[in-house]
Amino acid sequence: MITLLSWATGCASLPANTDRRASTAFNAPDQTPLGQLVHARRAQAGARSDSGFYLLDGVEIALTSRLALIDGAQRSLDLQYYAIHADASTEVILQRLRDAARRGVRVRILLDDFNSVGPDAQVLRLAFEPNIEIRLFNPLPGSRNSLVGRILTSLHDVPRIQKRMHNKVFIADNAWGITGGRNLGDRYFGAGEKQNFVDLDVLAAGRIVRDMSASFDRYWNNELAYPVQTLLDKEDLEKLRELAVPGAQSVKSGGVIPAAAAAPAPGAVLPGVTAAEVRQADRPSMDLRKVELRWAPSTLLVDKPGKIGPGDDEVDAGDTVIDGLMSALRLAQKDVLIISPYFVPGTQMMAVYEELRKRGVRIRVLTNSLASNDAPAAHAGYERYRKDLLAMGVELYEMRSDPESAKQLVGSGGDQRPKSDAGKEPDSRASLHSKAVVIDNRLSIIGSMNLDLRSQLKNSEVALVIRGSPVAQELTRQIEAMLAGGAYRVEQRQGKLHWAAPKGASFGDEDKEPGASAKLRLIVRLVAPFAPDEML
């Protein structure tokens, strides 16, 4: 036991990060077709504002909009993500990125290192393609065989494990960009077999994209951004793949497949995808000429890399995305609408909500139920504040987890899963992953942040702040549709919690955590005393 503990907590170290070269965003977007399209769309709309926006609430448009940016790019593609999973949806994106690089587009991908293990490490194969660079942010030392193993070998530095780059941006030619809640993978595009996330992004065009690019560059050139080749090589990736052969794991399903089937399909980036999934890369992309852009004043809230690690831009107290969001909330006069998967307010946020309620501001919050939450420990943190929030008059709604909710809420237009999965009966549970705030039906904040202490204190985040009623009204309609179709309203009745179904719903009220098993409720009770708010 002593030997095992010594191994698990041994001080594995990272190599020197001396091979990274500074680079910056393409600085002449107006010279590209994508940049010229922005000007044409703005002139056509007669807009005064220099930035346009389009909400991406459905899984199909979330994927095809990204494909459109890749297809339209001529000079640069910059991607920054917390997680990119090795599965069929990602294969579509990776193939398009590889094709773009082969036609001369510079591709930079910045990925938080935490999830780049096991099958998902195969995404890093793209780093060995010409004209593509991948850097891993705040990497952990040790084996990439499994996430558990890497955590065990890093237990001597728990603060480093806890601080993650949670930003999500997707930028083409410094002219068009996407940010919001989605990572890249089947669960984020409606094709998950056990779970599907209800998520939200926003497509942006114009001046605001240059702010997004400036933020990307700051992270890309930070000393915590390690080129993939500094940490592993092609042979390392091949060994990771061979660990699953024979009886290899399919990167799509997680099931056992024959060794012969583990060989990459012709033309694939990822091993384990099928030839049919390779052909999905030919699917059409969104037509950016027809997207109904809303032109509006905007600004970008973004954390500095110094929030995570050392550097020349250390974060001052009160200088985070969540702090900026709280400042905006304090300006509310009538109504605040919040959608956050993990809602653990902490003392400071609770004080803001109490201040607003004393001024008569209506506050509605949509978050996960215990059954729909993919992080039960986070629900334990939320539980601590639930009755106090209700007592001060905050309206709480919790999303249902049943497959029908997943089918209805992943986006308008019916079944929008990638075509390889169309026709299957939905059997995966729904889980809320959207992150947005609407203030007085005039100000919209959409980004990667949760309304919890982890986003405030641990993770780096990014968010778009968009002024104007058109975007706010559209976002409000989308959230209220979720409240009306797939969420319980939480109430206190005679000192006990009650979950009320919407009027006319096909499901009824509940007097205990709806959809949650006794085992899951027990786990939360056991975890709660040992889970401080800032760790959730």
Q: Which residues contact 424 (CB under 8 A, 6 or more apart)?
A: 417
One-character DSSP codes across 111-173:
EESTT-SGGGGGGGGGGGSTTEEEEEESPPPS-SS-HHHHHHTTGGGHHHHH--B---EEEET
- Find, among 362, 400, 412, the residue nearest to 485 by Cα: 400
255 pLDDT more than 50: no
pLDDT band of residue 493 (cuts 50, 70, 90) is very high
Alpha-carbon span 479 to 284, nearest angstrom: 28
The confidence score (pLDDT) of residue 11 equals: 55
Strand partners, 356: none
Q: Tokens 């590889």 correspond to what residue?
A: 98
Strand partners, 465: 299, 445
How many whole angstroms from its chain centre is CA 55?
15
Percent of the chain predicted with pLDDT > 90: 71
Given a contact cutoff of 8 angstroms between Cβ atoms, the answer to whether 138 and 165 are in contact is yes
Which structure tokens are listed for 256?
Answer: 């056992």
Alpha-carbon span 445 to 453, nearest angstrom: 18
Of 257 and 319, more confident: 319
The pLDDT tens digits for 133-190 are: 999 999 998 788 888 888 888 887 888 888 999 999 999 999 999 999 999 999 999 9
The confidence score (pLDDT) of residue 146 equals: 83
Q: How many residues does the chain have?
A: 536
pLDDT band of residue 427 (cuts 50, 70, 90) is low
- Find, among 145, 115, 117, 139, the residue nearest to 227 by Cα: 139
Enumerate the H helices of 423-496 as residue ranges. 453, 469-486
5 pLDDT more than 60: no
The confidence score (pLDDT) of residue 263 equals: 61
The pLDDT tens digits for 6-65 are: 334 445 688 999 889 999 999 999 999 999 999 999 999 999 999 999 999 999 999 999
pTM confidence score:
0.92
125 pLDDT more than 70: yes
311 pLDDT more than 60: no
Q: Which range among 94-103, 140-149, 261-270 has the greatest average pLDDT?
A: 94-103
Alpha-carbon span 63 to 285, nearest angstrom: 8
The confidence score (pLDDT) of residue 141 equals: 86
Average confidence score pLDDT of the chain: 88
Given a contact cutoff of 8 angstroms between Cβ atoms, the answer to whether 488 and 499 are in contact is yes
Intra-chain end-to-end CA distance of the chain, in Å: 29
Burial of 206 (0-12, 13-18, 19+ CB in 10 A): buried
Q: Tokens 């949670």 correspond to what residue?
A: 166
pLDDT, average across residues 108-119: 95
Q: Mean pLDDT lowest for which of 151-155, 470-474, 530-534?
A: 530-534
417 pLDDT more than 60: no
Alpha-carbon span 358 to 14, nearest angstrom: 51
289 pLDDT more than 60: yes
3 pLDDT more than 90: no
Given a contact cutoff of 8 angstroms between Cβ atoms, the answer to whether 399 and 367 are in contact is yes
The pLDDT tens digits for 520-531 are: 999 998 888 887
Of 427 and 362, more confident: 362
pLDDT, average across residues 270-285: 83
pLDDT, average across residues 212-227: 97
pLDDT band of residue 310 (cuts 50, 70, 90) is low
Question: Mapped to the 3 state alphabet, what secondary structure does 270-334 carry?
Answer: CCCCCHHHHHHHHCCCCCCCCCCCEECCEEEEECCHHHCCCCCCCCCCCCCHHHHHHHHHCCCCC
